[in-house]
Structures are given as C-alpha cells and as structure tokens.
Amino acid sequence: MAKVKVKTFSVIRDVLGADIIEIEVAKPETVGRLFDTLARRYGQPFREKLWDPATGELAPFLIVLNETIIRSTTDMERAIRDGDEVAILFPIGGG
Amino acid sequence: MANGFKHGGYVGQILRVNLGNGGVSKEPLREDWAEDFVGGVGLSARILYEELPPKIDPLGPENKLVMMTGPLNGTMLPAASRSSVCAKSPYTGSFFHSIFGGYLGPELKYAGYDGLIVEGRADTPVYLWIDDDRVEIRDAGHLWGKDPFKTQKILREEIGDEEIHIATIGQAGERGLPYAMILCDIRAAGRGGMGAVMGSKNLKAIAVRGTGGVTVPNVLKLYNTALRLNQLFATSPAVQGLSGYGTPRNVAAMNEGGILPTRNWQTEVFKGMKDITGEVMREKVVKGNRACFACSINCTKYSVVSKGPYKSVINGADYETIYGFGSICEVDNIEVMCKADELCDEYGLDLISTALCIAWAMECYEKGIFTREDTGGIDLKFGNADGMLEMIRKIGEQEGLGVLLAKGTRAASAITGQGSERFAIQNKGMEWPGHTCRPFPAAAVGYATGPRGGSHHDIRPTAEKSGLVDRKTLEGKGALAAEVNHWLILCDSMLVCHLAEPIWGPLKISDNTIEALNVVTGWELNYEEARKLAERQWNMIRCFSAREGFTREDDRLPIRFMEEPVPEGPMKGSIIPRETLERLKDDYYTYRGWDLKTGNPTKQKLAELGLDFAIKDIC
C-alpha cells in the first residue's frame, strides 16, 4: 500500500475538494491504479473530468510525478511509492 | 439559398466601401472563391492577394481592411460566432488575420453581407453605419480621441439602438501605433495592428444592425449537428473548466508543469503564481459570464474591482492577460491584471504586445541598459505593478519611453542595441503569447513558420502539451505542425473558435469540423477534400508573404528560445537550438512540398492546389 499526495487544479480540484489530497493505493502500486482508486472514491464527477465519454478512454494529459513529467497515454504502468507526489495537469488547451 | 447563391450559409454579397471617394457598392460573392477558400481568413487572403499590390505601405490608403464572416456565422452551431479582420499588417509586414468573437459577425450576416472591404482613406474621421441595406459614411469628429467603450456608448445613444454591434478603435489606432487593436463590442481583434490600419483610414468605428437571417439546406440536420456538438462541448474533458474559470483555468497547472512563461521568459516557473490563478480570479473579481453568440462554452468572464487603486471593470481577464501582466512581468496581484486589461482596452492596445514590450523594458532596466532617467523616474524592475501600469499609460499617451515601446520589441531592440535583441521575445515582429515551444518541437516549427510569427493560433502546442504525442522526439513533427495548421486555417475560414480544439482537431481536421461545414453549406466534402481546401488556404497566405519578400530566413524563433534552456522546473533544460530548428524546418517544408532553399511553395504545389496565378509572383 502506497500513500501518495495528489495535487489538483481547476475543475479537478472542485471535485476532489482540496488543493492536495492524500490517498492510499493498493498493489499493484502504479499510476494507473492511482487513477482507478481516485475514480472509485470520487465517482462519476471525477471520471467525467478525465475520461472521454465518446471513447471511454482516459483523456490525454500530463502528470507530474515527483517533478518528472509523464503522460496519461503511455505511462500508467509507472510504479509509485509511498510518499510520492503526483500533480494532475488537467487537459491543457491554449488561451 | 439566399440571394440565389449556390451554397448554404452564405448571403452571397460583399459590401465594399471606399472612404476616399465615399463610394459604397454591393458586389456578388464569387461562388468559385467560396468553394475554393470557404470564407473568413481564407477568402480574405484570396481577395487581398488579388487586390493589394506587393510592397505597399500598410498604413497608406492602398491597404484594405477586410472584415469577413464565415458560412457558419449566425447559425445555431456553437462556437461559430467569430469574424476575421485582415489586411497587410504594419507590425509584421505581411498578410495578417486577427479574429474576434462576440456578435458582430453574425450581425453583419443578418444585415446582408458575407463581408466588408474598406479601402481608401477619408479626409476626416468617419464611422460606418450599416443598417441592413442602408449604408452611410458618417462624421466621427466627435468620437475621435474617445476610448472604445465611450465611443460605443455614444453611438448606441446617437443611433438610438442598444442592440447594434460596434467595432471601434482607441487612441492607439488613431495614432497608427503598430500594435493597435480593434475592440468589437467586448472582444478584441487584438493582434497585428489591425486597429492601426483602421485608424490610417480615419475610420473610427463600424456599427452594424441586421434583421435578416442565414439560409441552410436542411434545418433539421443542422439542429441535430448543433445538438451533438453542444453535447461534445459539455462533456469533453479539455473543454470543461472554460465556463467556470475562463481561459485562466490552466495557470496553476501550467506552473506545476514548468510551462508558465515568467520574467520575460527567463524562466517558466512563477513563484507568485498562487495569487493569479483562475481560481483566485473567480473568487476575487469575477461577477458573471458573457458568452459569444450561440456558444455554450461561455468562456468570457465579467470582472469588477470595485475599489482601491486598481478599480476597474473588464471583460476578462483571459489567460493572456494573466500571462502578460502577471507572470511575464512578475506581478502577483489579480486586481492589477484587471486594471492593466482595462487600460489596454481604453487605449486600444494589443495587451500581449504591450505586456511583452514592458517586460522587455524591465529586462533592459535590470541589465542596466535603461536607467531611471530613461524610464521617466520609474523603478522599472520586475514585479513593480504600479510601474507596469504607468508604462501602459506612457505607451498609450506616447510619452517618454512609451514612444520607443510602442514600436514593438523588434524595432525597439534594434534602436536600443546593447544585446537587447537577445531578449526581444518576438518573431516576424510579433511578440509571443503565453504558450511555450522550448519543450515542444512541433510547436517550435509551427511558430517559426507561421505567417504571423508569435501567434498560438497558427500552431497549437496542445498535442505535445497534453501528452497526446511524444514531445521529446523530432520525428514526424513537421507533418504534425502542418496538419495542425490545416485544422486551424479551416476553422479560421469557417470562423469557429479554437477553444473547442479537441472537437475541431487536435491532430488534424476532424470529422466534426467537416460535418459542421457540410451541414451548413450543403457540401459533401470528405477528409481529403477538406484537407485540400485548408492546404490551399495555407499556401495562399504563404504566397502573400513570399511576394512581400519573406523567405526561409524569416522563419525564426526568438533568440532566447534557441540559446537559453529553461533553467528550472519539470521542463528544465528544454531548448530548441538553431540546428534543431533548421532540421525541423526541412522536415516541415518537405512535407508541404515547399522549396527547401527559399521556403516557398513550388510550382508543382501551386498547380496542384489551383494557385497557378501565384507562380509568376513567387517562383
């Protein structure tokens, strides 16, 4: 079980209710498992912010894992460890 | 269809006004040009290529200002409210398109015109009053010197109609400042000095009232497409958040990702970020929303600072305001950003260029190139909010250092020298928006080769910024940039809003885009046909630039991005060295079928696209 901090912004923050939350991720302790855990805890309001309803797939976005940038499209098997910090960079468009 | 025009969505008529002789004429829209260039920017490029001789003075009477709608404007389709203003730019020296949202475009269609061409120069200040069929050139002596909002208020009272929609310039446009903008109700055709072109014609305002409609081949099909698109907008993860937070929704996330441009792009992490986020803006100043015509995205905010030194009322702030007057000048007070936005609107200044010019001056001051004497006594260090606001005023009033800064960073740094060119954040003369390219090769080559230089609407870094593609590889990035160009320019000819980019793009022209165009016009375009339309438009604009003398050498990046890596944060070390940029350009030109030496379209490419008429000019 890995306890990680998740930093959130904008509409994701609105769903999670805080700038930073702590969450425990069961084995296998991966980034993908973290998002599944978040989806279970926060339900449909969370899912609809990050999963594309047309395809059912996770939308493309960047994630900061301990100051390293990873991708939702390719890096969900990345291992996470107790004490890790994860920031969800909500799908970013231009202004 | 309307006026016997062959295709749906069009009125079939262009209004031409010659301010030199007072002539007003209504001309049929050429059906072949609508078929080949759609409308908006593409059609304007074709018209201006035909009608403007090369090398003219952009602020001379020979230049023409083209305000154009697209076939989707005025229908029930969402995000289709936009209109384009095009001319030869006094800022970049080539074809320029500046696009605004709101209501004016649909109103022009309802008045009975697909577009308006303004030519010549009035002897004295005038405004144009378009009331359906009735078109009048009226005296604007009493409006000259007034800010855009006062001008709009006076015109609504004078004409006696609160519902009219108005495009107007401020003092910056009247004075011909090269990055003057046009305020169109509450949205701006901000970039490239279109306000200066309008001012050079002594044209203070364009007021429009229309009572007509738009005809489409099948209203039920249109309704179903509109319904489906609205559902997509409401549920797309990348569009959500715009309604609640506006475009500043991403400020905090961008800072966390190390891509929030800061301190005149010396770094891309801002320590004062927490006080200028979309969340803070919503909590402290936002009072409501102001959606564009028929748009469910609802991104524009209405914000009020009710008291204190930064008392202001604005329609915003947008992300670019927060980038420009926040992180890029290291100011961490959202109320200051509102005041800066208001000042730019009142003077009629493009806020991105204004902010970047001030940030450049701050860096000159930091490096000892400018002294306190040069700044008129202002301690112009980064983070000096009041100094920044005073510099906006000096630019608008043309006082002291403001005279130099009003020329833009390319000209100002050429005059100033002392290495200041190295931190002038511009290419093709236009300052950069708040979307980095240092970690994103496709964005880099897109910015470098874009017709407008520092525009995030000739390329979108979104595919790399969202992780949709691998940002670290150079392979395929020329092709990606070209296909992003294509969905953007097709949208700019249809005049739909780029903020719905996951729906219209984001990697190439999407089925949604083609469906929206087909359902309005009655066309049955497939992907290849739609792509060819877009490619033709992009090449048309490139031909305009080539005829003006632009070559491969003009496809550059700001020096800082080629010489200074991002110094900190998750994107630390990111840079686009010169040799990398040249390799990316080769890749891009090759994919496009352009000449590697000149960067111009080849004879074969022009013939393939039906642009044979340009061969004699550029090949």
CATH of B2-209, one of 3.60.9.10, 3.40.1280.10, 3.40.50.450, 2.60.120.650: 3.60.9.10
Q: What is the mean pLDDT of residues B320-335?
A: 98
Size of interface A-B (CB pairs under 8 A): 122
| Beta-carbon separation of B253 and A68 below 8 A | no
Sign (positive or negative) of CA dihedral B496, B500, B503, B508: positive
Q: What is the mean pLDDT of residues B571-585?
A: 98
* Residue B552, CA distances (Å) to B98, B491, B595 in order: 23, 26, 9
pLDDT in tens, B27-44: 999 999 999 999 999 999
Is B502 an 8 Å CB contact of chain A? yes
pLDDT confidence of B89, banded at 50, 70, 90? very high
The shortest C-alpha distance from B247 to chain A (Å) reads 5
pLDDT in tens, B354-394: 999 999 999 999 999 999 999 999 999 999 999 999 999 99
| Beta-carbon separation of B237 and A48 below 8 A | yes
Question: What letter represents residue B66's amino acid?
Answer: V
* pLDDT at res. B4: 87
B71 or A48, which is more confident: B71
Dist. CA B242–CA A90, nearest whole Å = 12
In chain B, residues with a C-beta closer than 8 Å to the C-beta of A54 are 232, 235
Q: Does residue B340 carry a pLDDT above 70?
A: yes
- Considering chain B, what percentage of its residues have pLDDT values greater than 70? 100
The shortest C-alpha distance from A75 to chain B (Å) reads 10
CATH of A2-89, one of 3.40.50.720, 3.40.710.10, 3.30.930.10, 3.10.20.30: 3.10.20.30
Under the phi-then-psi rule, with left for phi > 0, alpha for psi from -120 to 50, and beta for the rest, what region is B390? alpha
Kindly write down the DSSP assignment for every residue of B340-365, as one continuous string: HHHHHHHHTB-HHHHHHHHHHHHHHH
Q: Hey, where are the domains in chain A?
A: 2-89
Topology annotation, domain B246-430: 1.10.569
Q: What is the mean pLDDT of residues B203-212?
A: 98
3-state secondary structure of B3: helix
* pLDDT at res. B59: 98
Of B102-111, B128-137, B230-239, B525-534, give the lowest mean pLDDT range: B230-239
The partner residue sitting opposite B241, judged by closest CB among A10, A89, A94, is A10
| Beta-carbon separation of B319 and A95 below 8 A | yes
Cβ B349 vs Cβ B170: under 8 Å: yes
Class of domain B438-556+577-618: mainly alpha
Over chain B, what is the mean pLDDT? 97
Is B433 an 8 Å CB contact of chain A? yes
Is B241 an 8 Å CB contact of chain A? yes
pLDDT confidence of B265, banded at 50, 70, 90? very high
Q: Write out the H or E segment, with its range, that includes residue B335.
A: helix B334-347
The shortest C-alpha distance from B250 to chain A (Å) reads 6
* pLDDT at res. B509: 98
In chain A, residues with a C-beta closer than 8 Å to the C-beta of B465 are 62, 92
pLDDT confidence of B301, banded at 50, 70, 90? very high
Question: What letter represents residue B448's amino acid?
Answer: A
* pLDDT at res. B177: 98
* pLDDT at res. B3: 73
Token code pair at residue B232: 């997509």
The partner residue sitting opposite B467, judged by closest CB among A9, A73, A87, is A73
Q: Hey, where are the domains in chain B?
A: 2-209, 246-430, 438-556+577-618
In chain B, residues with a C-beta closer than 8 Å to the C-beta of A94 are 319, 433, 435, 456-457, 460-462, 498-499, 501
* pLDDT at res. B236: 86
Q: What is the mean pLDDT of residues B444-461?
A: 96
* Residue B472, CA distances (Å) to B440, B502, B574, B575 in order: 7, 22, 10, 11
| Beta-carbon separation of B253 and A60 below 8 A | no
Q: Write down the residue that tokens 């923050």 correspond to.
A: A13
Q: What string of pLDDT tens digits covers the 95 residues of chain A?
A: 999 999 999 889 999 999 999 999 999 999 999 999 999 999 999 999 999 888 888 999 999 999 899 999 999 999 999 999 999 987 666 55
In chain B, residues with a C-beta closer than 8 Å to the C-beta of A61 are 237, 466-467
Dist. CA B355–CA B343, nearest whole Å = 12
Token code pair at residue B541: 């604009």
What is the ipTM score, two decimals? 0.94
pLDDT confidence of B238, banded at 50, 70, 90? confident
Dist. CA A10–CA A90, nearest whole Å = 8
| Beta-carbon separation of A71 and B467 below 8 A | yes
pLDDT in tens, B396-411: 999 999 999 999 999 9
* pLDDT at res. A92: 64
The shortest C-alpha distance from B466 to chain A (Å) reads 4
In chain B, residues with a C-beta closer than 8 Å to the C-beta of A7 are 256
Listed in sequence order, the residues at least 6 apart from B158 whose beta carbon sits closer than 8 Å to its beta carbon are: none
* pLDDT at res. B610: 98
The torsion angles phi and psi of B57, rounded to 5 degrees, stand at -75, 120
| Beta-carbon separation of A74 and B470 below 8 A | yes
List alpha helices for B398-457, DSSP H.
401-405, 409-416, 441-449
Is B435 an 8 Å CB contact of chain A? yes
* pLDDT at res. A93: 62
